[in-house]
Amino acid sequence: MKSPTDQARDQKPEFQKGVQFILDTLRNSPSPVMITTVGSVRDVVAAYNRNPALFRDKVGKLLVFIGEASDPSFREYNVRLDLQAYVGLMRSGLPIYWVPCFDGGIWKNAGHASFWKAKHEDLFRKPSPELIQFFVYALQKENSDPLAFLSSPVDPQHQTQLFAGTRNLWCTAIFGVLSGRQVKFDGTKYRSVPSTNRKAQEGALNNDLFGFFEVDISISDSGVVRYGKSQDSKKVMRFEVRNKARYAEGMTAITADLLSKLGRRR
């Protein structure tokens, strides 16, 4: 984008479909929509700039995984993809649920970022064989027919290689709460469970492992976030780790729990 208010109409038609999909979805939805981004926020901000009133009427929550929570000298990767879009987003005044990728610099989490590390053997304890094959194919760069590979038996050597790896993670454990699933501690580990009622579903974004807290922010033209009330500040809900001692363990267990439910034949 050329500026935080750019509508990106000068880009080629094949690059307009994301913006158009967002606007069409909002227009056609009878109820508020939650939008989630896990990379550049370009399409969302371009769509907002074309129809701010529609966004204010139809966007219930805008959950964005982007940015750095506290180090003004560090520009996070998703921000670098489109700085102007990031600045436009944070100045929009929309109902933003902000999940910084790092807090304190790259590979750091001082308590207001979602970043954690996990061992593959902890993530893939109970997935279906098809899901194991999916990750083997993707991470070990297989080049055979993908559908045939998914349905073939898991090679023990491939599985051993997969389980020996580690992964940097930001998002997966949080995805479950988008649909209203609750994060619960069962006495030994954290799990993602279906909500039992509407009130529990609405409160799923906040639990004793992680949640969101309202802060006032302003953002410079260079993408540096400052906290505190000012003439141009906006309120956003910022991610926070609520149990630092068990955060990585808990997020890994939740992710493993969600992965175990994928690809199961009924």
83-92 pLDDT tens trace? 999 999 999 9
d(CA 52, CA 265): 43
Q: What is the pLDDT of residue 20?
A: 97
Residue 183 forms part of a structural domain: no
- Specify whether 19 is located in the same domain as 85: yes
- Specify whether 152 is located in the same domain as 215: no
| Tally of structural domains, the chain | 2
Q: What is the pLDDT of residue 190?
A: 93
Residue 264 clears pLDDT 80, i.e. is over it: no
CA distances to 30, 184, 188 from 193, rounded to whole Å, are 27, 7, 15
- Specify whether 148 is located in the same domain as 18: no
Q: What is the pLDDT of residue 165?
A: 95
CA distances to 122, 138, 145, 199 from 141, rounded to whole Å, are 21, 5, 12, 44
Instruction: Give 265's pLDDT tier (boundaries 50, 70, 90).
Output: low
Q: Mind listing the pLDDT tens digit for each residue in 199-251? A: 877 788 889 999 999 999 999 999 999 999 999 999 999 999 999 999 999 99
SS3 36: strand
Q: What is the pLDDT of residue 177?
A: 86
- Specify whether 110 is located in the same domain as 202: yes
Q: Mind listing the pLDDT tens digit for each residue in 215-228? A: 999 999 999 999 99
Type of residue found at 240: E
Type of residue found at 256: A
Residue 206 forms part of a structural domain: yes
Q: Mind listing the pLDDT tens digit for each residue in 18-34? A: 999 999 999 999 999 99
Q: What is the mean pLDDT of residues 52-59?
A: 98
Residue 181 forms part of a structural domain: no
Provide the b/e sequence for 215-228 (b: ≥16 CB within 10 Å).
Answer: bebbbeeebebeee
- Specify whether 106 is located in the same domain as 44: yes
- Specify whether 109 is located in the same domain as 21: yes
Higher pLDDT pick, 176 / 255: 255
Question: Which is it for strands 210-219 and 234-241: parallel, antiparallel or unpaired?
Answer: antiparallel
CA distances to 135, 157, 178, 181 from 131, rounded to whole Å, are 6, 16, 22, 21
Residue 1 forms part of a structural domain: no
Provide the b/e sequence for 55-80 (b: ≥16 CB within 10 Å).
Answer: beebbebbbbbbbbbbbeebbbebbe
- Specify whether 19 is located in the same domain as 111: yes
What is the signed CA dihedral for 241, 245, 251, 254, rounded to 10 degrees? -120
CA distances to 125, 128, 134, 137, 209 from 151, rounded to whole Å, are 19, 11, 10, 12, 36
Residue 266 clears pLDDT 60, i.e. is over it: no
Q: At what angle do helices 17-28 and 42-50 cross, to 10 degrees?
A: 60
Strand boundaries in 186-233, DSSP class E: 190-193, 210-219, 225-227
Residue 5 forms part of a structural domain: no
What is the signed CA dihedral for 7, 9, 12, 18, rounded to 10 degrees? 50
Residue 144 forms part of a structural domain: yes
- Specify whether 96 is located in the same domain as 199: yes
How is residue 42 written in tokens? 């370009």
Q: Where are the alpha helices (DSSP H) in 146-216?
A: 146-151, 156-163, 172-178, 198-202
Range of the structural domain that residue 152 is part of: 119-167
Residue written as tokens 């989630």?
Answer: 36
- Specify whether 129 is located in the same domain as 238: no
Cβ 244 vs Cβ 162: under 8 Å: no
- Of the listed ranges 54-68, 102-116, 149-163, 177-191, the one predicted with least confidence: 177-191
Residue 195 clears pLDDT 60, i.e. is over it: yes
Average pLDDT, the chain: 94
Q: What is the pLDDT of residue 201?
A: 77
SS3 of the chain: helix, strand, coil, percent, to 5:
40, 20, 40
Cβ 240 vs Cβ 112: under 8 Å: yes
CATH number for the domain that contains residue 200: 3.90.245.10
- Specify whether 81 is located in the same domain as 197: yes
- Specify whether 18 is located in the same domain as 104: yes
- Specify whether 102 is located in the same domain as 224: yes
